[in-house]
Each structure stands twice: as C-alpha cells, then as structure tokens.
Structure 1
Amino acid sequence: MSEIAAPLRRSEQLGEEIEERIVTGQYRPGMRLDEQDLADEFGVSRTPVREALIHLASAGMIEMRPRRGAIVAQASPTRLCEMFEVMAELEAMCGRLAARRITPAEQAELLDAHRACEVARDANDPDAYYHLNEVFHQRIYQASHNSFLAEQADALHRRLRPYRRLQLRVRNRMKTSYSEHQAIVDSILSGDGEGAADKLQRHVVVQGERFADLVASLSALQVQNPA
C-alpha cells in the first residue's frame, strides 16, 4: 500500500503558508506578524492563526516577544549550515540504529514511503515530494527504536522544514534526493549500519555546491520579495 499523507488541519495549513512566506523573504527577519492581520488576510478566525504561530515558535521560525507578539526569527546562511550539520549527524545515528533494529513491519513501511516519493518525483511535484520525504525520514527515526534520538531529530527537522523544501526546488535536486533515498534504503534493509549512517549524513549535510545553491536561492528570493 502506498503512503498517503493525512489531510492537514487549518492551523497546519496556515503554518505551512506562513513558513513558506518566511523562507521566501515575503515575511522578513524581524517583521512583526499580527494575529488579526493574518486572520483577515487568510479569511479565518484568530484561533487557527494563534495555533499556527505557537507551532512556528516551537519550531524556531518565529519568536514570541512580550508586548510585540510574533516576530520572524533571523537565521543566517552560516547558521543554517550549522543546523544542517547537526541534522546530518542525528540522521546518521538514526540510520545506523535502524539498520540493526528495524522490524519486518517497519521495513514494509519504509518501502511504502520510498515508493510514494517515487510517484511524486515522476510527477515532478516538489510540494508532494516534500511532504512524503518527511514521512520517509520519520520512518527511519522510528526504526531506530531510540525515542530520545527520534524526538531530537524530529525537532530539528521541523526547524529546517522550509529550507529543506526550498532545496527541493533546485534543479535536479528531487531526482538526486530520490536516488540517495534508494541507497539509504538498500543499506538499512541489508543491515549495513555504517553504510546507512554515511549515506544519510551525506544526504542531509549542506556543503559545497549545495550550500552555494541554498545561499543563491535565498538571495534570489529576497531580491524577488524586497522589503
């Protein structure tokens, strides 16, 4: 059975729209996000807006400040690179443990998630691939059977969500990502912990050309969306 993403709640939909606007520069670092203004803009009550802002604050995308409300957090390219380095190490640990501990049922779930990503890749749908890619990585976290590690990996993954989405829009990145997934799956299913760790680390870390692509994408989007 193919993996099917569950429908998003209204607050989750708002959260994704707001974080997308943050990463594309429409909502610039330091900008105040007013609950009522957002509610009016999206045609909803303040309740789902407030829930979305609380979620984004927990993910580090915004800061909740006394008397100022929600403020878009600042993250420099260097800071993003540092976070991706940590993310890569957490994922490597998950992959190493998953290769040793994954159950037959979890193997089937990982393969389902991988095949779902293939469908999105073939459809050239980066947004669908982004959501299904999250499911794929979640399957690896769960298969590590280390709940603390999975919680830490999930928390940082959420913090980097909009930037991982942005990366998928770089030319050929979706196709390359899927090929990297295949190598990761092969290592995990064969019980090769070190191979899985190495492939996941290289899959996630942002260095060299990938770092340059990320910086260029951020810069280009800021030019398209001036303050």
Structure 2
Amino acid sequence: MNIQPLEQGNLSARAYVALREGLIAGQFRPGQRLVMQDLADQLGTSVTPVREACLRLVSERGLELRSGRFVTVPALTLARYMEVRTIRLSLEGLAAGLAAQNATRDDIEKLTAIQKVFEKADRASDPELSFRYNRDFHFTVYRLSGMEMLVAHIESLWVSMGPMLTVFYKEGGHKYVGAAEHLTVIEGLREKNSQKARAAMEQDLILGGEDFLRFLQGHEGFVAP
C-alpha cells in the first residue's frame, strides 16, 4: 500500500480521492483490513477526514464498515462482477464513442504511446505495469469524452474491480492483451468514427473479461491472506 500524504485543503475530499484512487489502482487487496488511524498516519492527517472518506466509500460500496476503527475491502462475487460488467459495457462504450468526436492528433499520439508501453510490459510479464498502462489507456480514452460525470461513474465501477484485477494480473490468470481492440479504438478515434470506437471498446471488455470471469469462478469470495 503506497498512498501519499495529503496537501492542505479540504482534507476529507482529498482523503476520499486518495483512497478511491488506491482502490481503482489495485493498491488494496480483497478482504484487506484498513485501520483508519493507520491510513490517517500515512496521509499525514487526523483520523476524522479519513473516517469521513471511508464512510463515503462505504456508501458507494467501495469499502465495508466493520467497526468504528477499521473498514475492509470487499471480496468480488461473481454476481457483483456480472452486474458491474454489464454497466461498464454501456458506459465505457459510450465514453469511447464520444471520445471519437473530440480526440486530437496529440491525443491519438498519446494513446499510441501508452499502448506501446502496455504491450511491452505485458511481453515482459510485468503485472503491475501491465495493469497500470491498461488502465491509463482506458481512462485516457474516457476523459476524451469531455463528460466529467460519465468518467466519475466509470471510476466508481473500477473501484469494485481494482483490488481483484490486481490479484488476477499477479497470479497469472491474465492472458488477453487486447492489442487488436485497443488499436481499433485508436483507429476509430483517428477516423472520428464513434460506432467503431464504441464497438472496439465493448469487444475489449468482453474478450478481456473472459479470462477474468474464469479466474473469478475459481476464486469467488477471495480475500487476501
């Protein structure tokens, strides 16, 4: 777990963003117990803003409240995953389609560079970098939609996925790279073809989800040792 100390400002909001980002990025594992005082020490603040941030994430089902002192990262069930995937197909496909109308040449060059380092990390069997650059690719596309609320909803879905996806990448269940679909997304953006970009993103989620679905079926309810 590697979360950075907070800058001054609205500490509750900043703690929320830091913890939410940690969940999305897979810095926490399913079932991991997070003691609020320990989190406060790492963030360099008092426990009050951390407690407020944790309660907000509990309300969003990103964390589970176990006592007044600690929360846990939920295990991902098969039913929960199927629900999340169904919603992701709609929202992330929509975001990719909108991105095709907004992407500039510089945006496309940036995405191409991210894809290259993602594939390099995958060939090197580096699960942490593979996970990071795959995520960077997706959210770079989604932010090009120009819709902050849409991106926020997608991030909320990734909060549920991040911890288990990290386990998936690290334990070798990951086989699908998604190079063809990612490149087709880029083509759709370059051609300003919303339908092509959306279909490629949806296909990426479906094909990439097949390995994860099989992995989850063998690890349902997995919690960190």
TM surpasses 0.5: yes
State the partner residue of 1:70.
71
Structure 2: state its 5+ residue gaps: 7-17
Is the counterpart of residue 181 in structure 1 residue 182 in structure 2?
A: yes
| Contact persistence 1:121–1:178 (CA under 8 A) | no
CA distance, structure 2, for counterparts of residue 112 and residue 87 of structure 1: 24
State the partner residue of 2:29.
22
Corresponding residue SS for 2:68: coil
Return the offset for 1:210: 4.2
State the partner residue of 1:3.
none
State the partner residue of 1:110.
111
Structure 1: state its 5+ residue gaps: 1-6
| Contact persistence 2:26–2:164 (CA under 8 A) | no
CA deviations over 1:98-152 (Å, ceiling 9, x no partner): 1222122211221121122122122210101111112111110121122222222
Equivalent in 181, 190, 215 of residue 217 of structure 2: 215
CA deviations over 1:32-63 (Å, ceiling 9, x no partner): 64345x57xxxx93645967784696363313
Corresponding residue SS for 1:173: coil
Q: Structure 1 residues 147, 62: CA separation in 2 closer, same or farther (over 3 Å shift)? A: closer
Q: Which amino acid aligns with 1:214?
A: L
Return the offset for 1:9: 2.4
Q: Which amino acid aligns with 2:179?
A: Y
Q: How does 1:190-205 map to 2 (within 5 A)?
A: 190-205=191-206
CA deviations over 1:42-85 (Å, ceiling 9, x no partner): xx936459677846963633134673542443542111211122
Which range moved further: 68-77 or 94-103? 68-77
State the partner residue of 1:161.
162
Aligned length in residues: 205
Q: Which amino acid aligns with 2:93?
A: A
| Contact persistence 2:64–2:72 (CA under 8 A) | yes
Instruction: State the identity as a percent.
Output: 18
| Contact persistence 2:185–2:200 (CA under 8 A) | yes
Corresponding residue SS for 1:168: helix
CA distance, structure 2, for counterparts of residue 57 and residue 33 of structure 1: 15
| Contact persistence 1:62–1:73 (CA under 8 A) | yes
Equivalent in 41, 44, 55 of residue 45 of structure 1: 41
State the partner residue of 2:81.
80
